[in-house]
Amino acid sequence: MSLLDYIDQERLPNHIAIIMDGNGRWATNKGFERGEGHKEGVRAISRVVEAATKASIKYLTLYAFSTENWNRPAEEVNGLMDLMVYAISEETEKLKKNGVRITCIGDMDRLPEYARTALIECIDQTKEGNTLTLNIALSYSSKWELTEAARRIADDVLNGVLNKEDISEETISMYLTTHGIPDPDLLIRTGGEQRISNFLLWQCAYAEFYFTEVYWPDFGEKDLYEAIIDFQGRERRFGKISEQIECNSTGSKPEKEQ
Is 70 part of any known ligand binding site?
yes
The active-site residue, picked from 69, 156, 198, 230, is 69
Is 155 part of any known ligand binding site?
no
* 21 catalytically annotated: yes
The active-site residue, picked from 8, 21, 98, 223, is 21
Is 106 part of any known ligand binding site?
no
Is 21 part of any known ligand binding site?
yes
| Beta strands 132-140 and 186-189, pairing class | unpaired
Is 22 part of any known ligand binding site?
yes
Is 35 part of any known ligand binding site?
no
Angstrom distance (rounded) from CA 106 to CA 118 = 15
* 107 catalytically annotated: no
Is 202 part of any known ligand binding site?
no
Give which of 110, 132, 125 is closest to 49, Cα–Cα.
Answer: 132
Is 56 part of any known ligand binding site?
no
Q: 134 Cβ partners below 8 Å, 6+ apart? A: 49, 60, 62, 95, 100, 101, 102, 103
Alpha helices in the chain (DSSP H): 23-29, 34-54, 74-97, 113-125, 142-158, 169-174, 221-232, 242-250
Angstrom distance (rounded) from CA 12 to CA 225 = 11
Is 236 part of any known ligand binding site?
no
**Residue numbering of the annotated binding site for substrate:** 22-26, 34, 38, 66-68, 70, 72, 189, 195-197
**Residue numbering of the annotated binding site:** 21-26, 34, 38, 66-68, 70, 72, 189, 195-197, 208
**Residue numbering of the annotated binding site for Mg(2+):** 21, 208
Catalytic residues: 21, 69
